Structure formats: structure tokens, C-alpha cells
Amino acid sequence: MATKNLLSNALKKEGLRHTIQRQAVWDEIKSNDDHRDAEQIYSALRKNNLNVSRATVYRTIDVLYKNNLIRKIELGDSPSKYENKVNSDHHDHIICVQCGRIDEFVDDKIESQQDKIIDKLGFKMIRHIHQLFVLCKDCQ
């Protein structure tokens, strides 16, 4: 499905109109592979001279997350970070608690072990979040 329709459908579900501003938020998130918080996404839009309000950025991010179009990285005390999830392969994150650097990883053993645990219980996996908090090489 075209990504434009993905946004339209998500907005429709939430009873919101598809506007240029909301499209701009989605385009900005899709524009790179970075993990950014709402404030960073907001500044990037402003830097590109897009007149999008902070409230629109936060609201649109909520809608995108609720509709599974973006991935959320929960960081405890710091604001959550987001990345595009559409056509992006599943991966997990390693987060440096000192400098905030985020690395991605996939480990087939961990993935299949998680599936086995869920299978054994007779459950059905909906999604999983696996985050490792570390001190990176530079911060040790």
C-alpha cells in the first residue's frame, strides 16, 4: 500500500483530516533512519521552513504510533524516540545511558527463543520490544 494511504487511513480512524502539516510530519520521519524524539522531529520540520505546530507534531506521532507506522524506543526519564516502521525490517535497540547513542541489532537466537516462549504458553505474539541499556565504548 502506498505510504500516503497508510497515513490517510490512520488519520481517518482517529477522526482527523489529512492535512499538509500532518503529511509533513510523516514525510519527515520517513526521510531518514534516525531515532529521534518529538522535539528533534519538530526542529527538523522548522529548519525546512515547514510551518507545523508543536502540538501537530506530537499529535501526529501519537496517531502514527497507535497505527503501527512508527517504532517507539522508550527511554525512561528521557523522551521516547521514534523511527519509521513501514518497510523497515524488525530490529532491537542498544541504548547508551550516558550519551544516548542508539545502535540496532538483530539476533536470530533471541528472536526464535522469544517465539518459543510464547508458543509454549499457547499465546500469540503481537509485537515485542527488546532494549539493552549499556555504556558504549566511548562512555566507559
Which residues here bind Zn ion, judged by CB under 5 A? 83, 96, 98-99, 101, 104, 136, 139
Minimum CB distance to Zn ion smaller for 99 or for 125:
99
Alpha-carbon span 48 to 43, nearest angstrom: 9
CB 75 within 8 A of CB 95: yes
Q: CB of residue 50 vs Zn ion: minimum separation in angstroms?
A: 24
Q: CB of residue 21 vs Zn ion: minimum separation in angstroms?
A: 25
Structure-block grid coordinates of residue 129: 520490544
Which amino acid appears at position 9 of this protein? N
Minimum CB distance to Zn ion smaller for 108 or for 124:
108
Q: CB of residue 75 vs Zn ion: minimum separation in angstroms?
A: 13
Minimum CB distance to Zn ion smaller for 27 or for 92:
92
Alpha-carbon span 23 to 10, nearest angstrom: 12
CA–centroid distance for 38 within its chain: 10
Minimum CB distance to Zn ion smaller for 61 or for 96:
96
CB 10 within 8 A of CB 60: no
Q: Could you tell me how many residues make up the chain? A: 140
Q: CB of residue 22 vs Zn ion: minimum separation in angstroms?
A: 23
